[in-house]
Amino acid sequence: MKEAGAVRLGDGYVDLSQPGGLRLRFADYWLRDNCRCRSCRHAGNGQKLYAITDLPADLSASEAAITESNTLRVLWSDGHCSEYPMAWLVEHDLAAVARSKRLRQVELWDRGLIAQLPVADWPALLADPVVELGWLERYHALGFGLLRSVPCEPGTVAEVGDRLGFVRVTNYGRLFDVRSVLNPSNLAYTAVGLGAHSDNPYRHPSPGVQLLHCLESDAPGGDTLLIDGFHAAQLLRDGDPAAFDLLARVPMTFRYSDAATDLVARQTLISIDADGLVRAVHFNNRSADWLDAPAELAADWYRAYRKFALLLQRPELELVFRLNPGDCVVMQNDRTLHGRTAFDPGLGRRHLQGCYIDGDAMQSRRLVLRRSTGTATPHGMQRQDQ
Ligand code: OGA
Ligand code: ZN
Ligand code: ZN
């Protein structure tokens, strides 16, 4: 082992010990692949200029030192030289404690959230990036947000969708009307109540975000209900880990078909990410098709499915409120489940318009607004996936 001040090299790693006691360890290959010099990355756009196979297989650090400007300088076995500011290295600390701080943070909620609904006034949000960022941060933490004073002109929901992201056109068009009609293609277009569900699990990928904009709502009933699917999944995980595991492992088939369309997708009701955190919850009784799984597994899976469905009906998890004309709810369709109570179309009108967008554009907007408003990132290098 060679020693260069607080830097040690050898065995394929660069080890640093900081005056405060912080220890950092980076694999040689990892460090080299993060070189930001002008021959490794394009000076303008930061994109990589070499392929991983261009680096020698037996690459190692030959010399390393910390400079007066608190930068780690490494000379590699192939003669290349790289520099890493110490603050950058600390931000990318790969130790377990540091990595766990970067886990995605969400706030689980239940019916009590009614007192602090994540609301913004649409014209104010359009006019003020600070309002927009505040709303997007709440949306990100909670999995939905409400907009008020959205103009009650038909078609506006797609304009809102195109302002927050990019409307995803489907077989239903750029937007769809939710009202009670004769010969409905979908139970949503009747007056019956709808249990908590995510939309279109029969699509691959399912829509990331759903918007519902209220144009008319003077019919009695038709209240909106929202459920935090991540909270329900957490309750299942805590109370019955085996049931959780089955729903996260065994996919079921969802389907929608009409004269012109036949959409089929197979997915698990609960999806977990590489960190083991719940990444998505999809649940939809109307479009549940069948479970193609071994019979014995199916017996256990159905017990788990029923248990999860019961959880999703718990009144204490249901956030219930009324959408009034000009209100628009924006939901992460892979987290926040939605439904409505039945309404009476004989006693008044109820008309919503909806559309779908993908979630990545909203995420990008949030991160760009953090940059442009100079807002400190609350969780440092927090993983932003989802
Ligand atoms: C839908 C839906 C809810 C409502 O159309 O997907 O869930 O409040 N509608 O009518
Ligand atoms: Zn380089
Ligand atoms: Zn729906």
| 167 and 316 share one domain | yes
Q: Which residues are within 5 Å of ligand 2 (an ion), measured at CB?
A: 35, 37, 40
229 lines ligand 1 (CB under 6 A): no
Task: Over range 262-288, report the average pLDDT.
Answer: 97
pLDDT of residue 186: 87
Give the distance (Å) from ligand 2 centre to CA of residue 3. Answer: 23
Domain range for residue 88? 2-94
**If DSSP states are collapsed to H, E and C, what string results for the chain?**
CEEECCEEEECCEEEEECCCCCEEEEEHHHHHHCCCCCCCECCCCCCECCCHHHCCCCCCEEEEEECCCCEEEEEECCCCEEEEEHHHHHHCCCCHHHHHHCCCCCCCCCHHHHHHCCEEEHHHHHHCHHHHHHHHHHHHHHCEEEEECCCCCCCHHHHHHHHHCCECCECCECCEEECCCCCCCCHHHCCCCEEEECCCCCCCCCCCEEEEEEEEECCCECCEEEEEHHHHHHHHHHHCHHHHHHHHHCCEEEEEEECCEEEEEEECCEEECCCCCEEEECCCCCCECCCCCCHHHHHHHHHHHHHHHHHCCCHHHCEEECCCCCCEEEEECCCEEEEECCECCCCCCEEEEEEEECHHHHHHHHHHHHHHCCCCCCCCCCCCCC
- Residue whose Cα lies nearest atom 5 of ligand 1: it is 188
| 76 and 137 share one domain | no
Candidate from 286, 312, 338 with most ligand 1 atoms within 8 A of CB, to mutate: 338
Q: Do the Cβ atoms of 256 and 197 come closer than 8 Å? A: no
224 lines ligand 1 (CB under 6 A): yes
Residue 101 falls within a domain, yes or no? Answer: no
pLDDT digits (tens, 9 = 90+) for 132-157: 999 999 999 999 999 999 999 999 99
pLDDT of residue 18: 85
Q: How many domains does the chain fold into?
A: 2
Confidence class for position 182, pLDDT limits 50, 70, 90: confident
| 67 and 142 share one domain | no
Give the distance (Å) from ligand 2 centre to CA of residue 58. Answer: 17
Please say if the pLDDT value at position 230 is more than 90: yes
Give the distance (Å) from ligand 3 centre to CA of residue 188. Answer: 7
195 lines ligand 1 (CB under 6 A): no
Give the distance (Å) from ligand 3 centre to CA of residue 143. Answer: 15
Among the bound ligands, the one closest to the CA of 75: 2
340 lines ligand 1 (CB under 6 A): yes
CATH, residue 257: 3.60.130.10
Average pLDDT in the chain? 95
| 312 and 193 share one domain | yes
pLDDT of residue 382: 65
Among the bound ligands, the one closest to the CA of 224: 1
| 56 and 143 share one domain | no
Please say if the pLDDT value at position 2 is more than 60: no
Percent of the chain exceeding pLDDT 70 equals 96
| 173 and 235 share one domain | yes
| 70 and 138 share one domain | no
The residue with greater pLDDT, 248 or 377, is: 248
pLDDT of residue 358: 97
Give the distance (Å) from ligand 2 centre to CA of residue 40. Answer: 4
Please say if the pLDDT value at position 386 is more than 60: no
Among the atoms of ligand 1, which is closest to the Cα of residue 197? 7
| 146 and 235 share one domain | yes
Residue 291 falls within a domain, yes or no? Answer: yes
Give the distance (Å) from ligand 1 centre to CA of residue 303. Answer: 28
- Residue whose Cα lies nearest atom 7 of ligand 1: it is 339
